[in-house]
Chains A and B, each alone.
Chain A
Amino acid sequence: MAADGLTLVEAVAEAMHDEMSEDESVVVLGEDVGRSGGVFRATEGLYDAFGPDRVIDTPLTETGIAGAAIGLAASGLRPVAEIQFSGFTYAALEQLYTRAARMHARSRGQFPCRMVLRAPFGGGVRAPDLHGESMEAIFVHHPGFKVVVPSTPRDAKGLLIAAIRDPDPVVFLEPKKVYRSFREAVPEGPYELPIGEAAVRREGEDVSVFTWGAMTRPTLAAADELEGEVDVEVVDLRTLSPMDRGAIVDSFRKTGRAVVVHEAPRTGGLAGEITALIQEEALYYQEAPIARVTGWDTVYPLYDLEDFQLPNATRVREAIRDVVSV
């Protein structure tokens, strides 16, 4: 570990490196993951360390990568497949939905689908079309997957190792906007953080803000801006399926107010799921309507308009003010 810690993308690479050293059945495959080290360098160093049989540059075909990974998993290996950008996962959805997510159920446990599908996820990096998608809801909605979205380097490493060790298919979405935004001390060697546990990033009494991935940063910034005015609790869900419902309900019961922040489009997004959960489990604690700060229901825009699409600290701050003013 570097003295000043790792970036999130370096932590991702270190997780794969450490787990591949630990378990020789782990293989990495995808477009440009080998010699190049991945377009974001998320697989940097793996090819030199483990060679072409374990770090495999594939033809350009997401359905092929996903399909081959499912077969590799059935063969007894533990594939970690990279889809270069989450928006390209659309091309792999049939494999993922019709096969990966139901392999265990349809074979009654004979063939677990022990694979991880990694993809850089979300917007905010001034990339071309289909490079800014936030697709978490479609995976959460489909039975059979686990869905993880880390927001810090330490979490990224521990959660990715847990994902590789998990016997079920895990969709691991990496917030590329914060791939290199900051460094954090990351333990050396392999370690796991449990899939299914949220992290309270900041404790507060007045309002709970639930978020994940890249949105954790502007949410914390908004909470800082409101210091002295509103006492904000920030809960980073980290895992979207299974979702830590206990952490959401506990936080809401304490504060009675909530804002949900995600960059995915609003309609059918997970903010609706979290709001419904609060209605079911904590209605009588509720002091104000729950606010959603989300991406708009648009086709994801390119460079010039991207700033208006993504929630930022200003939008989060104003939503918090609205919710606490009721």
Chain B
Amino acid sequence: MSRFPEEFDDCEGIVAPDGSYDEEAVAALELDDEEFCELYESMVQARALEERGLALQRRGEFHFWMECRGLEAAHVGPAAALADRDWMNTEWRQYGAQIQRGRPLVDILLFWLRGYETWESDEIDEMDAYERRLPHIVAVGTQVPQTVGLLWGRALQGHDEVGLVGVGDGGASKGDVHAGMNFAGVFDVPVVFLVLNNQWAISTPVDGQTAAETYASRAPGYGFDGVLVDGNDVLATYRETRRAVERARAGEPTLVEALTYRRGAHSSSDDDTRYRSEEDVERWRERDPIDRYERFLVDRDLWDEGYAESVRERAERRAREAAEEALAIRGEGSPEELFDELFANPPAYVDEQREELLALVEEHGEGAFRW
């Protein structure tokens, strides 16, 4: 059973599923045409990356892919609301958010291929916007107290930076999320909590995660505000997050709940037909965030078939090239990398074990280790 934003009287929205929109609200966003188009292109890019990831998984070149179809507006809009100096700790499936922040696609793909991430800049103060993040860790919800600690620490050191941390409806059941929100409320930490309510935690529906009507309603319990936003409306997710970012800059956290729906499976290993109906998925397909936004852009004279075609082609080409590059880099891994960067100040046993492995590889060849 799906929940829909229109069931909630106070759900924030700007563009309706049929593409009609509130002129005044749009004007108040103060976005120029280029910025409107950028949101669109990020969403299309996220979908193209997903299609490429899934195709490669089916061909056996990627072992795994987390799916994000239908969630693009909930990912892209909030990321667009951050200043370059701000931080964004996402969950692994928030590709659109990473793309909107300017993260190279190859970098996103490499996380799935080798498990670790790399940064261009050595120093925090020199980091580009997309680098201002902590590494993805698969344990859901654990990023929440850390984001609070990170922004708390940055504030203690005199930096005017805000953090956005995303967590899903499943992850929001974790004690860590409570601990992090509670800390933020107590210490006035400049963090925006984005609960991405996509209504499914693998096979468990949202009413199996919480008996509350909304996640936004949790916020007053932490001493700050919560807002429920139509997660398939990219302008609404942008606006509500921007408002939350402004409040965070003044030392007031906010919980933003984006109500949306994961139309894809949880991951490439998940068979969602076992636990939900095609009808439900179809009802949300009619609310697709990209289709809806296209109708808005048409009305603004920013969209036509030619433009859409060129955006899609470019997105597909980038996704293909990034995948090729990522697969090539993956193949360069050597066994000694196992021990790289385990510690900043490595004890001797790390070198000893590395030598032990390398001696075996030297003797038997890498092929003897492949299984």
Contacts and interface: CB of A to CB of B under 8 A. Distances in A.
A75 B134 CA distance: 10
B3 interface: no
Nearest to B185: A59
Which of A53, A168, A196: most chain B Cβ within 10 A? Answer: A168
A134 B5 CA distance: 51
A67 B148 contact: yes
A144 interface: yes
Nearest to B186: A59
Contact of A76 (B124, B145, B147, B175): B124
A72 interface: yes
A95 to B, nearest CB: 6
Interface string A99-132: 1001111111111101000000000000000000
Which of A74, A76, A99, A110: most chain B Cβ within 10 A? Answer: A110
A108 B150 contact: no
A64 B180 contact: yes
A74 B150 contact: yes
A74 B146 contact: yes
A94 interface: yes
A110 B343 contact: no
A98 interface: yes
Given A67-B176, A108-B116, A242-B349, A72 B149 contact: yes
Contacts of A61: 175, 178-179, 182-183
B138 to A, nearest CB: 8
Contact of A104 (B138, B139, B341): B341
A76 B153 contact: yes
A168 B148 contact: no
Given A75-B150, A104-B342, A110 B145 contact: no
Contacts of A77: 153, 156-157
Contacts of B178: 61
B348 interface: yes
B205 interface: no
A146 interface: yes
Contact of A68 (B119, B149, B349): B149
B142 interface: yes
Contact of A74 (B116, B138, B153): B153
Nearest to A27: B156
A103 B156 CA distance: 22
Given A74-B150, A75-B154, A168 B344 contact: yes
A245 B340 CA distance: 22
A144 B342 CA distance: 6
A71 B182 contact: no
B144 interface: yes
Contacts, number: 158
A105 B145 contact: no
A167 interface: yes
Contacts of B138: 98
A98 B344 contact: no
Nearest to A71: B149
A95 B176 contact: yes
Interface string B340-361: 1111110111000000000000
Interface residues on B, range: 35 or more
A67 B344 contact: no
A166 interface: yes
Interface residues of A, number: 47
B74 interface: no
A58 interface: yes
A196 B347 contact: yes
A108 B341 CA distance: 6
Given A106-B117, A110-B118, A63 B134 contact: no
B341 A103 contact: no
A207 interface: no
A69 interface: yes
A110 B187 CA distance: 27
A94 B218 CA distance: 23
A75 B161 CA distance: 11
Which of B115, B136, B183: most chain A Cβ within 10 A? Answer: B183
B105 to A, nearest CB: 19
B137 interface: yes
A218 to B, nearest CB: 29
A76 B157 contact: yes
Given A95-B176, A106-B115, A111-B134, A68 B146 contact: yes
Contacts of B343: 104, 144, 146, 167-168
Given A103-B134, A107-B134, A108-B117, A70 B149 contact: yes
B296 interface: no
A268 interface: no
Given A63-B179, A98-B137, A108-B116, A53 B156 contact: yes
B135 interface: yes
A66 B178 CA distance: 14
A68 to B, nearest CB: 4
A104 B150 contact: no
Contacts of B154: 75-76
Contacts of A98: 137-139, 142
A112 B124 CA distance: 12
A143 interface: yes
Nearest to B111: A106
Interface of A: 27, 53, 56, 58-59, 61, 63-64, 66-77, 79, 94-95, 98-99, 102-112, 114, 143-144, 146, 166-168, 196, 241-242, 245
6 contacts: A66-B145, A67-B145, A67-B179, A104-B343, A107-B117, A112-B344
> Which 7 pairs between the two chains have the least Cβ-Cβ distance?
A71-B149, A67-B145, A75-B153, A64-B179, A242-B347, A167-B344, A68-B149
Given A64-B180, A103-B134, 16 more contacts: A27-B156, A61-B179, A64-B179, A67-B180, A68-B180, A70-B145, A72-B149, A74-B153, A104-B344, A105-B341, A106-B115, A107-B118, A107-B134, A108-B340, A110-B118, A110-B135
